[in-house]
Structure 1
């Protein structure tokens, strides 16, 4: 999974990172841009694989199943 942290005070957002990397970037942003405010905002979660590997596998599995069904109906 990948995480993107959004600042609660301005339009800053981190790139898609690991949870710990995103949290660290948000802390650094607040320390630099909003020093008197504790870090806040919200976190966006991307549950998809960054490489899209699982999505491709799922499409291939569906295609194979459709081919099997089509072949069995052709008799």
Structure 2
């Protein structure tokens, strides 16, 4: 894609349309360029969510906890 035809058309726009086009380009830049440059991939093990329930004694046996939740929530009353 060549820039020249786009710039030629841009130059022919009235000032308010140029501002709108510029705002749209800024929006696209933020969506596709800025956002991808900020993302740094890290292992899931370094996520702040890992270990957030480590101190909960009621979850020491997660299978038993889930079973209890299902029994209390899914039984007909």
Same fold per superposition (TM over 0.5): no
* Larger relative contact order, structure 1 or 2 (CA cutoff 8 Å, min sep 6): 1
**Which structure has the larger Rg?**
2
Q: Say which structure is richer in strand.
A: 1
